[in-house]
Amino acid sequence: MRFRSAFTAVLGAALLLAVNPAPASAATGQFRYDYVTDEGYDVTGFLTDPPNEQCLTLPGVGQDNTQPGHSPKNRTNAWATVFSEPGCQGAFFKLRPHTGGASERLKVRSVVFE
């Protein structure tokens, strides 16, 4: 009888683990990009420890700014895919973890970390 109780408890625990999603993970480090504000100021934007697998429209260069960001630098421990449009739409480019970067020719408005 004890074997059935122990088996039932283990089976129940396994089912609970299977049903509950894993906690959201985040990339560790910082993602940086440069942009020009509508007032004409040069600014560096950044995301620190951004969430993985979630599309992020970059602050300051979404639809509210006429000019996109540029010169992205990925200093996180995850791959970063940058997009030319908000909502992870348009042309894209992958930046490797820790050392990935591009020149001011690469225009960005959103990013997702993998």
Asked whether residue 103 is domain-assigned, the answer is yes
| Chain position carrying tokens 């894209």 | 92
Whether residue 7 is contained in a domain is answered as: no
Instruction: Say how far apart CA 16 and CA 57 lie, in whole Å.
Output: 34
Q: Residue 43 falls within a domain, yes or no?
A: yes
12 domain-assigned = no
Q: Containing domain of residue 93, as a range?
A: 29-113
Q: 0.85 exceeded by the pTM? A: no
Radius of gyration of the chain (CA): 20
Total domain count, the chain = 1
Within-domain flag for 102: yes
The answer to the question of residue 13 being in a domain is no
Domain assignment present for 4: no
Specify the CATH number for the domain of residue 40: 2.60.20.10
pLDDT tens sequence for the chain (114 residues): 454 444 444 444 444 444 444 445 789 999 999 999 988 999 999 999 999 999 999 999 977 788 999 999 999 999 999 999 999 999 999 999 999 999 999 999 999 999
Residue 73 resides in a domain: yes
- Angstrom distance (rounded) from CA 86 to CA 38: 17
